[in-house]
Structure 1
Amino acid sequence: MTTSTTARRLRGFSGAGYDKGRGVLTQAAWFAVLNLVFMKWWFPPRLRPPLLRAFGAHVGQRVLIRHRVRVQWPWKLTIGDDVWVGEDAWLINLEPISIAADVCVSQGAVLCTGSHQRRSPTFEFDNAPISVEEGAWVAARAVVLRGVTVGKGAVVGAGVVAHRDVPPGAVYTTGGAG
C-alpha cells in the first residue's frame, strides 16, 4: 500500500481543461430529458437512438439501448451499428466515448472518462477518452476507466475494472486474463 501526503484543498478546485461541449441551456435540457424520459421503462427503446442524435450523438443503425441507461453528454458519444447497451449502464463521458459496431455493454457496466490528479492538492481533472472496438463485450457491472481502449473482440468480464488497454481478443475476468 502506498501512502499519500498530499493535503487536499478542494475549495481551490478549478476544473481547468474540462469543456462540457455545450452551453448551460443545452446541458439543462439534456438532464431534464434524460431523467424525465430517456431512462424510463415506458420510453420505447427504438426512440432512444433518435433522441441521442437530437442532442448531437452519432448513433448507428439497429442500436438497442435499454431503460435506466445514463449518458452524461450525448454530444460526446459515438455508437456504431448493431450495439446493445444494457439496463443501468452508465456512460460518464466527460471526454468522448466511442463504441464501435457489434459491441455489447451489459447491465450495470460503467464507462468513465473522468478522473482526478491524485497528487493535485485541488484534485484537478485527469480525463481521457474511451474507445471500445468492434465486437468487444463489456460484461455486467464491469468498469472501463479513462484513457482505455478495449480492443477488437476483447471481453472485459463481469465485475472487472479495466484500468489499462485491453488487447484485441483478450478476455479479462476477475481471475485475471484468460
Structure 2
Amino acid sequence: MPRSLAGFTGAGYDKGRPLLVQALWLTVSTVILGRWWCPNSVRVAMLRAFGAQIGPGVLVRHGVRIHWPWKLSIGADSWVGEDVWILNLEPVNIGANTCISQGVLLCTGSHDRRSPTFEFDNAPITVGSSVWIAARATVLRGVTIGDDATVGATALVTRDVLPGAVVLAPPSADMTSPTN
C-alpha cells in the first residue's frame, strides 16, 4: 500500500494546551531555558508555570529540550542532564532520585507504519525511582522502566525493563574481535 504523507491528519492526538500556550512555551524554552546562563531555579519554576509536576530538589541542566511541560512529571531529587530530549507527545513520568544522563532521548511519539497516511502511534513512558539512564540512551514509546534499574550508555530500550534490571547496549564490533 503506498503511503501518502500529504493525507496525515494527526487524528486522536491532543497537544493538551491551546496554540497560544504552545507558542509561548516553545519561545520561552528556546530563548531562555536552554541557555547555560539560566539558573536551575528559573528552569524549574518555568516548567512548573507551564504545568510540569516537579518535585523538590530536581536539577534540570542547560540544553534540555522538553516538548510539552504539561505532560511531564519528575519526582524529588532527580537529575536531568545536558542535552536530554524529552519528546513527550504523551505523558512522561520520572520517579524520585533518578538520573537521566547527558544526551538521553525519551520519545513517546511514533507513527503507524501500516497507516496509509502515517498516523501517530504514541504511548507514554514511565521511569521509576532510583533509575539511572546513562548517556545517549534512547527509550521509546510505551516503555516502563522499573525502580532501581540501570540503562547503560547508548542502549536502545524498546520493551519494559524490570525493577533492578540492567540493560546494556550491544558491544561494538572491535570489542568482540580478539586482541593481539
1:34 matches 2:29: yes
Q: Deviations over 1:65-97 (max 9, x none)?
A: 100000000000001000000000000000000
Normalised by the size of structure 2, how large is the TM-score?
0.93
Equivalent of residue 16 in structure 2, options 1, 14, 21: 21
Equivalent of residue 9 in structure 1, options 4, 22, 27: 4
Report the counterpart of residue 119 of structure 1 in structure 2.
114
Offset, 1:47: 1.7
1:159 matches 2:158: no
Equivalent of residue 172 in structure 1, options 160, 164, 167: 167
Secondary structure of 2:126's match? strand
Secondary structure of 2:167's match? strand
Report the counterpart of residue 61 of structure 2 in structure 1.
66
Structure 1: 5+ residue runs without aligned partners? Answer: 1-5
Separation of aligned partners in 1, 2:60 and 2:21: 22
Offset, 1:49: 1.0
Normalised by the size of structure 1, how large is the TM-score?
0.94
1:133 matches 2:125: no
Separation of aligned partners in 2, 1:172 and 1:46: 32
Q: Deviations over 1:143-175 (max 9, x none)?
A: 000000011111111001100101111101113
Aligned positions, number: 171
Secondary structure of 2:3's match? coil
CA contact (8 A) 2:155 2:170 kept: no
Bigger radius of gyration among the two: 2
Separation of aligned partners in 2, 1:104 and 1:98: 13
Secondary structure of 2:139's match? strand
Offset, 1:105: 0.3
Structure 2: 5+ residue runs without aligned partners? Answer: 172-180
**Following superposition of structure 1 onto structure 2, how do residues 44-55 of structure 1 map, counting pairs within 5 Å?**
44-55=39-50
Secondary structure of 2:163's match? coil
What do you get for the CA RMSD once the two structures are aligned? 0.9
Separation of aligned partners in 1, 2:170 and 2:47: 36
Offset, 1:137: 1.0
Which amino acid is the alignment partner of residue 46 of structure 2?
L
Percent sequence identity is 59
Separation of aligned partners in 2, 1:7 and 1:48: 44
Separation of aligned partners in 2, 1:162 and 1:156: 8
